[in-house]
């Protein structure tokens, strides 16, 4: 993953509303949620929420699709996985007693 993409993803998550939306969508799973429901759950103006969701999508952390007049958002697991891999790929090199558990997503000793 290129560092520019990583920086864009981290910048997208470095804002309270976007981070809350991302976490909400993680809990929602692959079916996602409509933009209006995300805005309502987070008590955010719908047009403001749309801008936040668009930034997360540009950062490859969300994907969207339209069903009639509603736009749904869900986690982009590929982009999220690439970000996590980039952030953790060197976690075990300094100390051989530490290893990355890909199943749990944690470094372990």
Distance CA 95, CA 101 (A): 15
pLDDT for residue 1: 60
Residue spans of the domains in the chain: they are 3-108
What tens digit of pLDDT does each residue of 15-50 get?
A: 999 999 999 999 999 999 999 999 999 999 999 999
**pLDDT tens figures, 44-68:** 999 999 999 999 999 999 999 999 9
Around Cβ 44, how many Cβ atoms within 10 Å? Answer: 17
| Sign of the CA dihedral running 20, 22, 23, 29 | positive
pTM: 0.83
| % of residues, the chain, pLDDT over 90 | 72
For residues 7-14, average pLDDT: 96
pLDDT of residue 63: 97
Task: Decide yes or no: CATH 3.90.1150.10 for domain 3-108.
Answer: no
């Amino acid at each position: 993953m290129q560092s520019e993409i990583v920086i864009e993803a981290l910048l997208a998550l470095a804002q309270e509303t976007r981070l809350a939306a991302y976490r909400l969508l993680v809990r929602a799973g692959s079916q996602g949620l409509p933009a209006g429901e995300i805005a309502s759950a987070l008590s955010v103006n719908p047009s403001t929420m749309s801008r936040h969701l668009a930034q997360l999508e540009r950062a490859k952390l969300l994907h969207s699709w339209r069903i009639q007049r509603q736009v749904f958002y869900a986690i982009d697991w590929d982009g999220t996985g690439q970000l996590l891999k980039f952030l953790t790929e060197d976690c075990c090199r300094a100390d051989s007693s530490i290893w990355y558990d890909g199943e749990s997503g944690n470094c372990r000793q």
